[in-house]
């Protein structure tokens, strides 16, 4: 039985999503999140919360003025579905190198009729595909940061994709794992999608889609030749988004929290400052791992390491990821119940530690407490 001194335990949640909310926003009374209001009321939509949240999102992420931003029901997966159904005109390409990028490029794509799938996937033992996408495909899907395994697509690769794209190619990014935490190359995509439950610290079940004028035109073109399921059809959603409304009744609490998070980020240095904060969190963990004799980064090459969800490999055969997570959960602290668990599809004895901005808005003190707890758990496990 592992016994930990409560004084060394952190107060933050380190799970990769839903994850830690902003410490001030977590104290907000529920009624203040406007969840009881009609989503059709002008002071909620056209002149209110949805408009303010949309504009704050565009400002924070430097989304071009002529792109349409909409709140989409469900998390990132329904948004991925909508992108595939509405924007793939023929050939689909991209990269699959983890659970969520593989879901997008393999599982969801298989359901869409008349797609020629040329997505490049990793081979056994690889962390990143060797073969580059077909940049002349009708749609190229990329996941700048893969939540499941702590792998990222480097900036130069993303820039190359944009510069090499064909005349009729759309570039789509799923930035769920890094939206609000990584300062990505500006204006080098036609489509953004992301769930709100990571860097922005909101509940799950809501996502954002941003589409360029070229992507909006593609959606209208594709609909002429494909019957799209009603809930995935973007045409009506885009029309509503133009006047800051939603098609379905949205999760107003999530949108309210997202707006407040965007405003806090903008007032505290914007995306460059959030990028710096996430890197500080991750750098502390990578430095700690280097000093231990039981853990190392799962991704050896630094340029491919995600610093929003870094992943680590246990190197001592006496240690298991489940034993460490069980010890954290046994403390009874609600913030540690989900631990630092590996994603189910990833190799055993790996740990994922979220490094989103709100986990420690002041620096790395919460991470120091987490690693102190892990060090003590390991010390006791080795004595058993």
Q: Mean pLDDT score of the chain, rounded to an integer?
A: 96
pLDDT at 154 over 80: yes
pTM of the entire predicted model: 0.96
Q: Report, as an integer, the average pLDDT of 106-127.
A: 96
pLDDT in tens, 294-339: 999 999 999 999 999 999 999 999 999 999 999 999 999 999 999 9
Identify the pLDDT of residue 4: 95
pLDDT in tens, 32-52: 999 888 888 998 899 999 999
pLDDT at 384 over 80: no
Residue 379: which pLDDT band, with cuts at 50, 70 and 90?
very high
Q: Given the structure tokens 């359901």, which residue do they identify? A: 111
**Fold assignment, 30-267:** 3.40.640
Identify whether the C-beta of residue 194 lies closer than 8 Å to the C-beta of residue 62.
no
The more confidently predicted of residues 81 and 1 is 81
Domain ranges of the chain: 6-20+270-383, 30-267
pLDDT in tens, 319-330: 999 999 999 999
Q: Given the structure tokens 């580059």, which residue do they identify? A: 132
pLDDT in tens, 157-212: 999 999 999 999 999 999 999 999 999 999 999 999 999 999 999 998 999 999 99
Identify the pLDDT of residue 380: 97
Separation between Cα atoms, residue 245 and residue 343, nearest integer Å: 35
Fold matches, 6-20+270-383 and 30-267: no
Identify whether the C-beta of residue 58 lies closer than 8 Å to the C-beta of residue 177.
no
Separation between Cα atoms, residue 121 and residue 194, nearest integer Å: 21
Class of domain 6-20+270-383: alpha beta
* Helix axes of 252-267 and 49-61: crossing angle, nearest 10 degrees: 40
Cα-based distances in Å from 204 to 196, 208, 286, 353: 7, 12, 28, 18
Identify the pLDDT of residue 356: 98
Identify the pLDDT of residue 31: 87
Separation between Cα atoms, residue 240 and residue 369, nearest integer Å: 46
Residue 30: which pLDDT band, with cuts at 50, 70 and 90?
confident
Residue 17: which pLDDT band, with cuts at 50, 70 and 90?
confident
Q: Report, as an integer, the average pLDDT of 72-76.
A: 92
């Amino acid at each position: 039985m592992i016994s930990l001194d409560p004084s060394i335990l952190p107060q933050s949640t380190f799970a990769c999503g839903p994850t830690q909310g902003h410490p001030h926003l977590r104290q907000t009374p529920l009624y203040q999140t406007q969840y009881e209001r009609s989503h059709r009321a002008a002071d909620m939509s056209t002149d209110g919360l949805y408009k303010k949240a949309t504009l704050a999102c565009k400002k924070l992420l430097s989304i071009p003025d002529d792109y349409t931003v909409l709140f989409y029901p469900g998390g990132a997966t329904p948004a991925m579905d909508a992108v595939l159904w509405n924007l793939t005109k023929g050939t689909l390409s991209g990269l699959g190198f983890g659970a969520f990028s593989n879901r997008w490029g393999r599982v969801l794509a298989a359901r869409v009729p008349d797609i020629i799938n040329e997505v490049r996937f990793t081979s056994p033992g690889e962390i990143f595909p060797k073969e580059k996408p077909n940049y002349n495909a009708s749609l190229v899907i990329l996941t700048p940061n893969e939540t499941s395994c702590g792998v990222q697509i480097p900036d130069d690769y993303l820039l190359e994709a944009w510069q090499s794209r064909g005349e009729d190619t759309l570039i789509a990014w799923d930035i769920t794992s890094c939206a609000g935490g990584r300062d990505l190359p500006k204006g080098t995509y036609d489509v953004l999608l992301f769930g709100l439950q990571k860097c922005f610290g909101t509940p799950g079940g809501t996502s954002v889609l941003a589409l360029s004028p070229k992507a909006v035109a593609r959606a209208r073109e594709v609909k002429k030749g494909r019957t799209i399921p009603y809930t995935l059809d973007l045409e009506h959603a885009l029309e509503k988004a133009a006047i800051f409304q939603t098609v379905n009744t949205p999760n107003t609490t999530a949108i309210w929290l997202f707006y407040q998070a965007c405003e806090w980020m903008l007032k505290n240095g914007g995306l460059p400052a959030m990028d710096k904060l996430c890197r500080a969190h991750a750098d502390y963990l990578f430095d700690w791992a280097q000093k231990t004799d039981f853990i190392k980064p799962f991704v050896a090459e630094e340029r491919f390491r995600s610093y929003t969800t870094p992943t680590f490999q246990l190197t001592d055969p006496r240690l298991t990821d489940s034993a460490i997570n069980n010890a954290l959960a046994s403390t009874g602290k609600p913030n540690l119940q989900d631990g630092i668990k590996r994603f189910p599809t990833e190799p055993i004895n790996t740990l994922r530690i979220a490094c989103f901005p709100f986990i420690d808005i002041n620096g790395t003190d919460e991470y120091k407490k987490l690693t102190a707890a892990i060090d003590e758990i390991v010390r006791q496990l080795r004595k058993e």
